Amino acid sequence: MRQFKLPDLGEGLEEAEIVTWYVNEGDHVVTDQPLVSVETDKAVVEVPAPLSGRIVRLFGAKGDMVKVGAALVEFAEGAEQDPGTIVGELGASEPPAAAETLSGRAVGHGLHVFPAVRALARKLDVDLDSIEATGPGGFMTRADVERAAKSLSQAGPAEPLRGLRRAMAQRMTAAHAEIVPATVTDDADIDDWRKGEDVTIRLVRAIAAACKAEPALNVWYNSGAGERRLIERVDIGIAVDTGGGLIVPVMRNVAERDAPDLRTGLDRLRADAIARSIPPGELRGATITLSNFGMIGGRFANLIVVPPQVAIVGAGRIAQRVVAHRGQPTVRCVLPLSLTFDHRVVTGGEAARFLVALKSDIERPS
């Protein structure tokens, strides 16, 4: 038998969730025929057959998580391999790794629990290690268990994070552990804009101008090597709220594109992101990120910088505010700006100069 293993679908993927099988055991498939669709950290990807042959076994069912390098499909001997189309690794069957099993829930690390209370916890599906014992001498009481069970019922069933939310949890945890963030903020007076101005495109073009004025924020930083790489081209990641999670497609070479072209490109990226049909290549390689969270609400934000980038710009909700204008208090339209940067790589002066350039470009009349 020959096994086809889940390939690395990009960006150091460690695992993927099975969404749909297109084939069944016993089917005969041809090279490049779709076998299965899997959900990676950012997109749903179809995995094609690496060869022609009869399928003997499918590994995993819908909803299962599959590790990169783990078997997906087993083909019968004599399958016709086409080396030019293989996207995974085919090899001889390997003995399975030692199984890790749980014989039962561990309870009572330092807890004193009467058998009747332990039985009640099993009946109500309450983990004794997760609740506080309030009885005399540290004993767990029936009331402790019943209180925990009531809280669980009110909270609703636990559900594992999947797809985008799982990826978000992993990436934000990694970013929080590595980045040393700092944030500077300011308000941009946009009262001189024409009616109907395209806010997001103005922000994109202003970021490109600020990157030209202060290139230290359009950078990739390799913390392992202690090296930074200044990027001449400005490729902006645009955070898109899809409802099911956050996707950040990349607008390429924004400094060299006019406003209509940027708007057309942004509309296409947003539609593909919401439909979960965006190619993985369009989710990689951003040099700086924009989060226009003000379209939903909020004024300023301490945002998360995702390595290897060193900066993210946030735009808050536009509102009318009393400001000093030509020496007089006046009601003007104001756009709040936040700039979060990795202080390991970017100095406070560089960040401040970037924000000044950003604000200056945004405040230009239409």
pLDDT (0 to 100) of residue 115: 67
Q: Considering the domain boundaries, does residue 97 fall inside one?
A: no
Structural domain count of the chain:
3
250 shares a domain with 124: no
Q: Considering the domain boundaries, does residue 242 fall inside one?
A: yes
Last residue in a domain, options 130, 155, 180: 155
pLDDT profile of the chain (366 residues), mean per 10: 80 80 93 86 79 92 90 81 37 32 33 73 86 74 86 79 84 91 97 94 97 98 94 95 84 96 94 86 93 94 95 97 93 97 97 98 92
75 shares a domain with 116: no
173 shares a domain with 49: no
Residue 240 buriedness (CB in 10 A; 0-12 / 13-18 / 19+): buried
Last residue in a domain, options 155, 178, 207: 155
Q: Considering the domain boundaries, does residue 245 fall inside one?
A: yes
Report whether 282 contacts 272 (CB < 8 A).
yes
- CATH number, domain of 37, equals 2.40.50.100
pLDDT (0 to 100) of residue 78: 65
pLDDT (0 to 100) of residue 249: 93
335 shares a domain with 188: yes
Tokens representing 163 are 């797809």
CA pseudo-torsion sign 35, 38, 44, 50 = negative
Q: Considering the domain boundaries, does residue 200 fall inside one?
A: yes
**What is the C-alpha to C-alpha distance for residues 174 and 161, in angstroms, rounded to an integer?**
16
pLDDT (0 to 100) of residue 94: 34
175 shares a domain with 139: no
Domain containing 224 equals: 164-362
Tokens representing 103 are 């014989």
Question: pLDDT digit string (tens) for 261-271?
Answer: 999 999 999 89
What type of residue is 126?
V
351 shares a domain with 285: yes
192 shares a domain with 151: no
Q: Considering the domain boundaries, does residue 102 fall inside one?
A: no
- CATH number, domain of 145, equals 4.10.320.10
348 shares a domain with 241: yes
340 shares a domain with 254: yes
pLDDT (0 to 100) of residue 99: 27
- CATH number, domain of 171, equals 3.30.559.10
Q: Considering the domain boundaries, does residue 105 fall inside one?
A: no
Q: Considering the domain boundaries, does residue 210 fall inside one?
A: yes
195 shares a domain with 86: no
144 shares a domain with 51: no
Last residue in a domain, options 121, 155, 189: 155
116 shares a domain with 69: no
Q: Considering the domain boundaries, does residue 104 fall inside one?
A: no
Question: pLDDT digit string (tens) for 108-156?
Answer: 345 567 667 788 888 888 888 888 887 755 778 888 888 888 888 787 7
pLDDT (0 to 100) of residue 12: 60
Q: What is the pTM of this model?
A: 0.65
pLDDT (0 to 100) of residue 29: 93
